[in-house]
């Protein structure tokens, strides 16, 4: 309450509205606004002076209402103080919101750049995924082809086993036929004893038989040449096997070199981690420099706040002079309600932002823990892969040893067969010399032919049949050799296909290792980004706390300046008659302030809503990227499992093929044993014939004709057995 010309005039204290939002706009705009406010206040003061002139006539009426106005003014002052406190709190929160807004915009920009990088990485990952899917399809197609080839080879091996069983039955039948022929020969010896008269006709037939023997010798030489060629071919195959063994050794050495390269790459990665730690230290130093810059900026803000306080004092001095009407009290009450609602809304928004930030931080911490777990799992998988590679190396060395042993056994078998053939040739030459000597003896003494011609014809027919059987057996043996060569070629083709598949598997393993390295790099970058975000969040919290403390100090200074202004207002109310125009200015300033507040609040709401939407969209995109990365990890694990299964199946099939080859070699070895037994039986027959010849020579003296018959029979038996054995072996 003030006294003017001895009369009491009610003065309503108006709320002190701060101009906190004008700090962001700038010093120039604030200066222009203060000038406009001064003009408006001058206009309002003029209007107030006119009203005061009118009120002089009504002073008598107002004396009675002075007491009521005093009470109302006291209430208004109390309300004004409450409103000032609420406005100060709102200004502090608005300043913090503006700072948070700037930081949030910067974070949004960084997140946008990170999202762009993540989109690029995701596109690259999708391309690599498509390439891997195509290669996987090719590997599956090759695997199906290999399975078909393996099934065909198994069927062929079964057919070979059937053929071997058939040959065994044929050999048994041939042995039985040989027994029958031996019985026939015994019967023929008895007939020869009775057919002494037909010996002379056999001379010509013996010449024919000699020619046939020469033909048989030529056939035997041809067979020997064929056997030598077969031996040469087998030696060539053995050399090829040796070259392949050397190639496998080289591949094993290459695998060791690759392991050493991987270890070197791991060392390089550790060095890169050290360099990244150094970069983190540099970034921390840069953050300290940025904090020093922020302190300098705070000092500049304090300077601008002091200048703003001076201008605010001037405006408040001009405005408080015109707080005398009750209508303004009502407007203040309405504004109080509006401000209380706005303050509550700002508090709710602040709580929402805090909860969202806490949830985002917790989600990021969970993501970081998941990434660490993934890194541990990948390290375990790498160790398991190294162990598998070492096991494969040891298995490859064992396979090389087994191949060398089979090669030595095969060489020994070939040498044994060659020695058997040489012995058979020597026996054949010795039997040939004996036959020639016996034929010379018989040509001197043969005179009777008539009865032996029919017998000789029968023998020739039997010889022809035996020759046909021998030719069939030779053809079957040649087919067996052809089948063996075809099987060996098919095995070579299979081994080549297996080598191709192994190379493809190695390429896939290398690609998987590269993808794992890239994934580890991405994980490390994501962890570093999360650390940077946490550090920026901590820095922003510290800055906000510092700003809040500064604003509290400003409020204290503002309260002290308010007391000074009230004292100045009491002094200036004496001069209100000279400044009636200031009332209009004050009203216009208040309207402008209300409009500017509404605009700023609307802009804040819009920006906050936009940033929240952008933040939610970025969070959703990050979740999608996370799910896509998990899907890729699951696919990589499935591919590794498939590769392991294929390697195990290929190893099992190789083992089965080796077992079948060994079984086939064991089937071939009894044939050699049977040949040796036949050879011994042939020698026993020859020894029996020699004994019979000795007995015949003993009987020649008393019985010359019978002796000749016995000699001729023994000679024929020896000739037939020699021819048969020569054709057979």
Mean pLDDT, rounded, for 605-616: 68
pLDDT tops 70 at residue 229: yes
Q: Which residue has the higher pLDDT, 559 or 376?
A: 376
DSSP state of 581: B
Q: Nearest 5°: CA angle at 488, between 141 and 154? A: 55
Length of the chain: 729
Place of tokens 């206009």: 43
Q: How confident is the model at residue 433 (pLDDT cuts 50, 70, 90)?
A: low
Q: How confident is the model at residue 158 (pLDDT cuts 50, 70, 90)?
A: confident
Provide CB contacts within 8 A for 240, sequence distance 6+. 492
Q: Nearest 5°: CA angle at 200, between 715 and 450? A: 100
CA-CA distance, 258 to 251, in Å (whole number)? 10
CA-CA distance, 114 to 622, in Å (whole number)? 10
- pLDDT by residue (tens digit) across 276-299? 667 666 766 766 776 666 666 667
Copy the structure tokens of residue 103. 């930081």
pLDDT (0 to 100) of residue 434: 65
Q: In 3D, which of 34, 107, 85, 60 has the Cα closest to residue 618?
A: 107
CA-CA distance, 261 to 386, in Å (whole number)? 13
Q: Do 513 and 262 touch, CB atoms closer than 8 A?
A: yes
On whether the pTM is more than 0.75, the answer is: no
**Domain residue limits, the chain:** 2-728
Mean pLDDT, rounded, for 180-203: 62
CA-CA distance, 482 to 404, in Å (whole number)? 24
Range in 46-60, 620-634, 683-697 the model is least confident about: 683-697
- Helix axis angle for 582-699 and 326-445, nearest 10°, is 10
Helix (H, G, I), strand (E, B) or coil at 21: coil
pLDDT tops 70 at residue 92: yes
- pLDDT by residue (tens digit) across 99-127? 766 776 777 677 667 767 766 766 676 67
Residue 430 Cα distances to 403, 434, 686, angstroms: 41, 6, 11
Helix (H, G, I), strand (E, B) or coil at 108: helix
Range in 21-35, 57-71, 564-578 the model is least confident about: 564-578
Cβ-based burial of 217 (10 A; exposed 0-12, middle 13-18, buried ≥19): middle
pLDDT tops 50 at residue 702: no
pLDDT tops 50 at residue 497: yes
pLDDT tops 60 at residue 655: yes
Q: How confident is the model at residue 328 (pLDDT cuts 50, 70, 90)?
A: low
Mean pLDDT, rounded, for 659-673: 53
């Amino acid at each position: 309450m003030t006294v003017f010309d001895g009369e009491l005039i009610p003065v309503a204290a108006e709320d002190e509205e701060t101009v906190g939002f004008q700090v962001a706009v700038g010093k120039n705009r604030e200066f222009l606004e203060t000038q406009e406010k001064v003009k408006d206040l001058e206009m309002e003061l003029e209007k107030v002076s006119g009203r005061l002139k009118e009120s002089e006539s009504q002073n008598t009426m107002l004396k009675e209402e002075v007491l009521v106005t005093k009470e109302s003014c006291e209430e208004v002052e109390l309300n004004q103080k409450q409103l000032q406190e609420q406005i100060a709190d709102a200004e502090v929160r608005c300043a913090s919101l503006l700072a948070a807004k700037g930081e949030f915009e910067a974070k949004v920009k960084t997140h946008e750049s990170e999202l762009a990088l993540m989109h690029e990485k995701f596109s690259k990952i999708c391309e690599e995924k498509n390439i891997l899917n195509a290669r996987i399809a090719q590997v599956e197609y090759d695997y199906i082809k290999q399975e078909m080839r393996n099934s065909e080879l198994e069927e062929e091996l079964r057919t070979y086993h059937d053929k071997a069983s058939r040959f065994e039955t044929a050999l048994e039948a041939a042995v039985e036929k040989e027994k029958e022929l031996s019985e026939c020969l015994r019967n023929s010896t008895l007939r020869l004893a009775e057919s002494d008269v037909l010996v002379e006709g056999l001379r010509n037939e013996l010449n024919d038989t000699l020619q046939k023997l020469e033909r048989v010798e030529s056939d035997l030489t041809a067979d020997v040449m064929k056997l030598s060629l077969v031996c040469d071919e087998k030696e060539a195959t053995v050399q090829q096997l040796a070259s392949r063994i050397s190639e496998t050794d080289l591949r094993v050495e290459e695998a060791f070199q690759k392991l050493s390269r991987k270890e070197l790459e791991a060392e390089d990665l550790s060095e890169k981690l050290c360099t990244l730690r150094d970069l983190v230290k540099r970034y921390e130093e840069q953050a300290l420099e940025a904090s020093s810059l922020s302190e300098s900026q705070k000092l500049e803000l304090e300077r601008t706040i002091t200048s703003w306080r001076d201008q605010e004092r001037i405006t408040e001095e001009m405005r408080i002079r015109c707080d005398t009407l009750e209508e303004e009290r009502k407007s203040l009450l309405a504004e109080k309600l509006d401000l209380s609602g706005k303050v509550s809304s700002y508090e709710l928004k602040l709580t929402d932002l805090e909860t969202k930030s806490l949830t985002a931080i917790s989600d990021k911490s969970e993501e970081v823990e998941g990434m660490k777990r993934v890194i541990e799992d990948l390290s375990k998988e790498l160790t398991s892969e190294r162990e598998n590679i070492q096991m494969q190396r040891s298995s490859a060395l064992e396979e090389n040893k087994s191949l060398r042993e089979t090669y030595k056994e095969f060489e020994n078998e070939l040498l044994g067969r060659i020695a058997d053939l040489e012995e058979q040739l020597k026996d054949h030459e010795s039997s040939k010399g004996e036959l020639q000597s016996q034929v010379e003896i018989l040509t001197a003494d043969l005179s009777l032919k008539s009865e032996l011609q029919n017998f000789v014809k029968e023998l020739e027919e039997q010889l022809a049949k035996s020759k046909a059987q021998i030719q069939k057996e030779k053809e079957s043996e040649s087919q067996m050799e052809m089948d063996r060569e075809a099987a060996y070629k098919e095995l070579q083709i299979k081994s080549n296909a297996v080598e191709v598949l192994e190379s493809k598997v190695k390429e896939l393993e290398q690609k998987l290792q590269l993808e794992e390295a890239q994934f580890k790099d991405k994980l490390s970058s994501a962890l570093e980004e999360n650390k940077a975000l946490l550090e920026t969040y901590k820095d922003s919290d510290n800055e906000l706390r510092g700003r809040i403390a500064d604003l509290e100090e400003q409020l204290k200074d503002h309260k002290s300046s308010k007391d000074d202004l009230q004292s100045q207002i009491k002094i200036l109310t004496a001069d209100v008659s000279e400044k009636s125009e200031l009332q209009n200015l004050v009203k216009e300033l208040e309207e402008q302030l209300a409009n500017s507040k509404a605009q700023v609040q609307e802009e804040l709401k819009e920006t906050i809503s936009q940033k929240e939407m952008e933040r939610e969209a970025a969070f959703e995109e990050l979740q999608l990227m996370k799910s896509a990365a998990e899907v890729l990890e699951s696919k990589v694990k499935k591919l590794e499992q498939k590769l392991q299964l294929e390697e195990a199946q290929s190893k099992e099939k190789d083992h089965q093929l080796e077992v079948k080859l060994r079984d086939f070699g064991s089937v071939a070895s009894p044939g050699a044993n049977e040949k040796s037994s036949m050879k011994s039986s042939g020698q026993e027959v020859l020894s029996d014939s020699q004994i019979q010849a000795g007995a015949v020579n003993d009987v020649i003296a008393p019985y010359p004709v019978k002796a000749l018959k016995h000699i001729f029979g023994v000679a024929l038996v020896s000739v037939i057995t020699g021819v048969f054995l020569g054709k057979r072996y």
